[in-house]
Chains A and B, each alone.
Chain A
Amino acid sequence: MKCSEFLHELTNYLDGAIDDRTKAELEDHLAWCHNCYVVCDTTKKTIEIYRDSQLYELPEDLRTRLRTAIVSKCKAKKKVGPESV
């Protein structure tokens, strides 16, 4: 397996969306290709860091304000009639 073939399958490999035979081939490649091992490992870390980052969390006060606004507009629409919302 060439490195380009490994990279082509990287997303499926990280997502576990891969058959056993291809998985074995990829892991065989990882065993001897240090560059692909590093790319695979650090790509996994990239995903984990973003997922765990709490980037763009909605602050509780803003959350309440937005929800109150949404609900009051929904109620106003409801008064006009359900067909018109």
Chain B
Amino acid sequence: MNTIQNRVSEPAVSDELTLVQAAKAGDVGAFEELVRRYDRNVFRIAQHITQNREDAEDVVQDAFLKAYGNLNQFQGQSKFYTWLVRIAVNEALMKLRRRRPERMVSLDEDVKTEEDSLPREVADWSPNPEQQYSQAELRDILSRTIQGLPPSFRTVFVLRDVEGLSTEETAEALDLSIPAVKSRLLRARLQLRDRLSRYFQRRESADGGPKHNGGDGNQ
């Protein structure tokens, strides 16, 4: 099995500190380069957490401005990107709390027991399930599926599996322990897999006998 690839390339990290130092010294151009490097990542993370495009736009602006305003607080023990993600996640969670004041939104929530994550649907998938759908349909399916996860699960999933942060970086960015990151990641992955099975499971031919459809009929 392949390990997960990081979406922030390593060579980019080597001169990152130089840019941060220049930005600290007042070089806005250097900070603009940092924005160029990470704005797509911050936007993706923010939209995954808030599930709202306008909120995600606000988070991009607020997170970068907060980072700029607090550059002197960045000591360089972690990567700038991990530090920025931490700021962005906090901004995104604040947006989510404002939008859903009736529900407590916390990364500490431990919503369900292990048993709830045990797979219910073990039917195999088609060889290239994503090719059954158009790009737009697929994005809609993926977006609706991940929306159904608790914020604490989808945040860990997006940082680890979409953005490619390491377990340690994810723990640092979310202020969680490593076992907590691993536990949420396992449950997020299994729940997403379970929910996607309704769209992607292998279809039997017409004469192939009865076939349980794990979906809800909204195919």
Q: Which residues of A contact B (CB under 8 A)?
A: 4, 7-8, 10-17, 35, 38-39, 41-47, 49-51, 53-58, 62-63, 66-67, 69-71, 73-75, 77-78, 82, 85
Complex contacts, B196 vs chain A, CB 8 Å: 42, 46, 49
Closest chain-B Cβ to A59's Cβ sits at a distance in Å of 10
> Main SS of the interface on chain A?
helix
Contact across chains for B193 and A42 when beta carbons are under 8 A apart: yes
Contact across chains for A38 and B28 when beta carbons are under 8 A apart: no
Contact across chains for A75 and B192 when beta carbons are under 8 A apart: no
Counted as pairs of residues, one from A and one from B, with CB atoms less than 8 Å apart, the total is: 137
Contact across chains for B182 and A11 when beta carbons are under 8 A apart: yes
Instruction: Kindly state the separation between the CA atoms of A50 and B124 in the bound complex, as whole angstroms.
Output: 18
Q: Which residues of B contact A (CB under 8 A)?
A: 1-5, 7, 26, 28, 31-32, 35-36, 39-40, 43-44, 47-48, 56-57, 60-61, 64-65, 68-69, 71, 118-119, 122-125, 129-130, 138-139, 142-143, 146, 157, 161-162, 164, 167, 182, 185-186, 189-190, 192-193, 196-197, 200
Tell me the nearest residue of chain A to B29, going by C-beta.
Answer: A71
> Main SS of the interface on chain B?
helix
Complex contacts, B44 vs chain A, CB 8 Å: 55-58
